[in-house]
Chain A
Amino acid sequence: MFTECSEQLFGSSEHSHISCGVLGESVKPAAFEYRNSRDEDEVFDLLTKYGSEAKVLAGGQSLIPLMNFRLVKPSLVVDINGVSSLRGVKVSSSTLRLGALTRHVELETRPDVAQAAPLLSAVAPYIGHPQIRTRGTLGGSLSHADPSAELPAAMVALDATILVKGASEERRVQAEEFFKFHLTADLAVDELVVGVEIPVFGPNQGFGFREVSARFGDFATVGALAVLSVGPDGTVERSRVVCMAVGPKPIRIGSAESVLNGKQISPAILGEVAEAVAEALDPIADLKASASYKRRTAATLARRAVEEAWEMTAGRVS
């Protein structure tokens, strides 16, 4: 490696000659070729050609740790940060469209996101730390498909559509179908997540989000999300109850939703929701918690999330 100082940029008057360190002493990832792509077509060409030898690089907050430990050793890294079509936030009257390169910090701070999908602004501060959220992307988190990650669970709770594109085909996949298994999404090696579409949050809706983690900023030990749509008399018309970090993917609890739909919320109904969640889940113990802790905590968090969602609608409806 040779290094050399230039004074052209920023007109720096300081001239320093840099001697290079011995590169072999400080490298962590295995060697790879790097392509900084500017457009989708180039990305698809490379992914088609290299197949599973290639890895897409977005925020790098999950991929680079894996490469530093050499758990992942791609021969080609395709950096998509410069692909402008993967960027952008658009709100229409009914749909919020978020590009795959939307950073977590944007979800946390953008007023248009807070308006159209306030659940996303509420979960974003729980993703790692500020220094992670400046880099990490929505598309990266969804493709990584960690069952204890906030954004995959939020996509299921919001009934989002994941926009997937390959060299020859574009697909729209419901979030619930998209997450398959631990770190596995419905995504071929030559496909990209290009963005998501989320129904705009309505005045008759409320959401709740609860998470337990060892320290704030850590991946969740257990989490629960609820989204309710209520009628003018306060009856629940539609509901989504989703638990995270209790199985191989975000888990929608249909039986808890059946308890809620068509009913007015009461302490008894909330109790039934908790019971339905505890019955539906079959978590396995991990390093953070036992299976029974996870089941009981998920039930309590789901009950609280539903209550929180309902209180939000009570403030809005009537």
Chain B
Amino acid sequence: MEPVPVKIVCNGTAYQLQVEPRTLLADLLRSDLGSKGTHIGCEHGVCGACTVLVDGEPMRSCLMLAVQADGRTIQTVESLELPDGSLNELQESFHEHHGLQCGYCTSGILMSLTALFNEDKAPSESRIRDYIQGHICRCTGYQQMIEACVELSGLRSKELS
């Protein structure tokens, strides 16, 4: 099929691409833009491993065609590190609390939580659970992730007050 021109900004870099319509955003990110941090699990929207931010909103990149990302800004897990290459506060908190084991689910979960923490500086535990609920983790049992987020939220609400 005729490739379609697509302009996207991914993790701060602008791209002009020719994309075959059936290419999924997840596959474009992984195969063509080198963002291997975006993982693919189920390919039908259930597991959440492929979650990225599209114009700041968390979406399943396995359920979006790459051509639909035309004109949009994408953030993947690679965008989270600080300019000096160290972990950001959410990643740091996951590290501290053992919020991951194999790491397969982690990039998607971090992106969902990034959207939450961007929208709500100090989200409640129930909102944190609501966002993690959209992901499947086969290792951790989720509790450590929730603890990581609750602590970060607590630190932030102290800063705010």
Instruction: Name A residues whose Cβ lies closer than 8 Å to a Cβ of B.
Output: 1-10, 12, 14, 16, 18, 20-23, 25-34, 36, 57, 60-61, 64-65, 67-69, 77, 79, 81, 125, 128-132, 134-135, 215-217
For the complex, give the distance between the alpha carbons of A131 and B16 in Å.
27
Residues of B within 8 A of A9 (CB): 7, 9, 14
For the complex, give the distance between the alpha carbons of A131 and B60 in Å.
7
Residues of A within 8 A of B99 (CB): none
Chain A proximity mask over B129-140: 1 for CB below 8 Å, otherwise 0: 011011100000
Some 28 contacts from A to B, beta carbons below 8 A apart, are A1-B17, A1-B23, A4-B15, A12-B9, A12-B14, A14-B13, A18-B15, A18-B34, A21-B27, A25-B31, A28-B24, A29-B24, A32-B1, A33-B1, A33-B21, A36-B68, A60-B64, A60-B65, A64-B63, A64-B65, A69-B44, A79-B68, A128-B45, A130-B58, A131-B58, A131-B134, A135-B64, A217-B134
Question: How many B residues touch the partner, as a band?
Answer: 35 or more
Residues of B within 8 A of A20 (CB): 31-32
Chain A nearest CB: distance from B5 CB in Å? Answer: 10
For the complex, give the distance between the alpha carbons of A135 and B14 in Å.
23
For the complex, give the distance between the alpha carbons of A61 and B131 in Å.
17
Asked if residues B65 and A217 are in contact (CB atoms below 8 Å), the reply is no
Known: A10-B14, A61-B60, A134-B59. 12 other contacts (CB 8 A): A5-B13, A6-B16, A9-B7, A18-B34, A23-B20, A23-B23, A29-B24, A61-B63, A65-B43, A131-B51, A131-B58, A132-B60
Residue from A16, A26, A131 whose CB has the most chain B CB atoms within 10 Å: A131
Asked if residues A5 and B16 are in contact (CB atoms below 8 Å), the reply is yes
Asked if residues B2 and A5 are in contact (CB atoms below 8 Å), the reply is no
8 Å CB contacts to A: which residues of B1-46?
Answer: 1-4, 7, 9, 12-24, 27, 30-34, 43-45
For the complex, give the distance between the alpha carbons of A1 and B16 in Å.
12
**B147 in the interface, Cβ–Cβ < 8 Å?**
no
Chain A nearest CB: distance from B18 CB in Å? Answer: 5
**B62 in the interface, Cβ–Cβ < 8 Å?**
yes
Residue from A3, A14, A30, A57 whose CB has the most chain B CB atoms within 10 Å: A3
Give the nearest-CB partner of B111 in chain A. Answer: A131
- The number of A-B residue pairs with CB atoms under 8 Å apart is 155
Q: Is the interface of A mostly helix, strand, loop or mixed?
A: loop
Contact of B67 among A5, A28, A34, A217 (CB under 8 A): A34
Asked if residues A1 and B21 are in contact (CB atoms below 8 Å), the reply is no
Known contacts A3-B17, A5-B14, A5-B15; A21/B134 CB under 8 A: no
Give the nearest-CB partner of A218 in chain B. Answer: B46
Contact of B48 among A27, A36, A79, A129 (CB under 8 A): A129
For the complex, give the distance between the alpha carbons of A104 and B1 in Å.
32
For the complex, give the distance between the alpha carbons of A210 and B38 in Å.
36
Chain A nearest CB: distance from B16 CB in Å? Answer: 4
Asked if residues A7 and B22 are in contact (CB atoms below 8 Å), the reply is no
Give the nearest-CB partner of A135 in chain B. Answer: B59
Contact of A81 among B13, B31, B68, B112 (CB under 8 A): B68
Residues of B within 8 A of A21 (CB): 27, 30-32
